[in-house]
Copies of this chain bind each other. A is one copy, B any other.
Amino acid sequence: MSDPTQLAFRALSDPTRRDIIRILSAEEKTIAQLTDQFDMTRAAVKKHLTVLSDGGLITVEAKGRERINRLNPQGLGPVFDWLQYFDRFWDDRLSDLKAAIEAPNPKDNQ
């Protein structure tokens, strides 16, 4: 399966994965650090991270023996693209969001 939209929606469909995303939105974490916050094994957390990575929602950087997991906000792009289809139901107000999302380098103010 390689459709980015499907991969992103799938990644968001699990509550643990949504929690991980929230945690990573505050601070980058290693797998072990994330595991501390859940009642499951490291292997299970790592599987979720793989799904999130496949969905483009996080990036992983190997650093020594650790793996630093970071949120990739742009990964939500396909989700917003899809949702944007429903513009008409909200009077095109959703278009504003779409434009905002697509602005380059979301995190810095340009």
Contact = CB atoms under 8 A, between A and B. Distances in A.
Interface of A: 3, 5-6, 9-10, 12-13, 15, 18, 22, 25, 71, 73, 76, 79-80, 82-83, 85-86, 88-91, 93-94, 96-97, 100-101, 103, 106-107, 109
Contacts of A90: 73, 100-101, 103, 106
Contacts of A3: 15
A79 B89 CA distance: 15
A89 B15 contact: no
B9 A13 contact: yes
Contact of A91 (B22, B80, B109): B109
A97 B107 CA distance: 18
A79 B9 CA distance: 11
